[in-house]
Structure 1
Amino acid sequence: MDIDRYLGPGHRTTALVTSHGLAVADAAVRLAEAGRFHDEREKLAGELSRRWGAPYHVGLQTVRLRTGAEEIPEPWAELSLRVGDVYLWQPERPREHGRWVALGVADLDPCDEIQLLLVVTDTDPP
């Protein structure tokens, strides 16, 4: 994966895969598809780990809870509302720029489509 195309000031969130019709789907269908998205995340995380080393595995529930009491910087505030946990790397190549790469499945909102998200940001995780 060439993250150079995601580099720039601030942050960028990209949906690598998006479901279609799951916002109104039966709960069992949605659950099965969420599992497929998590499998895709694991597969891509394995590929990125071979390139950048083992990621941090970061749960975002405490960040989500903190958004009600304090200012959480973007993209972390929005990400915590959509994603339960992420794999997080700070690859060697962009490290001089302080970049982080996060990979997660946005499946928390049952009224929204499921997405496999890639986030590149220069904002340190909270």
Structure 2
Amino acid sequence: MSPDQHLAGIGLLGTQAFPAQQRYVTAELATSVGVTAGDPAERITVAERFHDDWEDAARILAEGWGEPEHIGLQTIRLRTATEEIPEPWARLSLTMGDAYLWELTAHGRWAVLGVADVDPDDEIQLLLVVTDTAPP
């Protein structure tokens, strides 16, 4: 599915039940192919395209959810060394440098949109995560 197709039904994420034993759901809006073992210059180019898509997706989501807060996840990443950080925040901090955050107050949830591109051994992904766990 294209990011546009995912975004068309994104409102459901704010209200649907979470999978068993989880307090969040993740939508993979886009995933790169073959940039983990590829040319580093190509990875940079792909990452730039994903960041452009991230900005575009944020603009679309802002139409329905309002303006997001831009958050850095580096301090959460540092805190994982000494604190128990709840999921999905611990995982997000290890995969993303920063993200857009919306508080979906009508449903008691938060939506996080970001590009998972920190680990060069992983494919790059544009992710939207909806959780009922407040940011730490």
Q: How far did 1:5 drift?
A: 4.2
2:89, 2:135 within 8 Å by CA — same for their partners in 1? Answer: yes
Q: Indicate which of 102, 108, 128 corresponds to 1:118.
A: 128
**Matching residue of 1:102:** 112
Structure 1 distance, partners of 2:27, 2:37, is: 23
Q: Report how many aligned residue pairs link the two structures.
A: 123
Q: Indicate which of 69, 78, 91 corresponds to 1:65.
A: 78
Instruction: Give the unaligned 5+ runs of structure 2.
Output: 1-6
Q: How far did 1:98 drift?
A: 1.0
> Given the two structures, how large is their TM-score scaled by the length of structure 2?
0.86
> Given the two structures, how large is their TM-score scaled by the length of structure 1?
0.92
Q: For residues 48 and 5 of structure 1, do their structure 2 counterparts lie closer, same or farther at Cα, with a shift above 3 Å needed?
A: closer
Q: How far did 1:65 drift?
A: 0.3
RMSD: 1.2
How do 1:24-39 residues align onto structure 2 when only pairs under 5 Å count? 24-39=37-52
2:17 alignment partner, SS class: coil
Instruction: Give the unaligned 5+ runs of structure 1.
Output: none
Give 1:48's aligned amino acid.
L
Structure 1 distance, partners of 2:122, 2:58, is: 24
Q: How far did 1:25 drift?
A: 1.1
Deviations 1:53-90 (A, max 9, x none): 11000000000000000000000000000011110011
How do 1:50-89 residues align onto structure 2 when only pairs under 5 Å count? 50-89=63-102
Q: Indicate which of 55, 58, 66 corresponds to 1:42.
A: 55
Give 1:36's aligned amino acid.
R
Q: Which runs of 4+ in 1 moved over 2 A?
A: none
2:50, 2:115 within 8 Å by CA — same for their partners in 1? Answer: yes
Q: How far did 1:52 drift?
A: 1.3
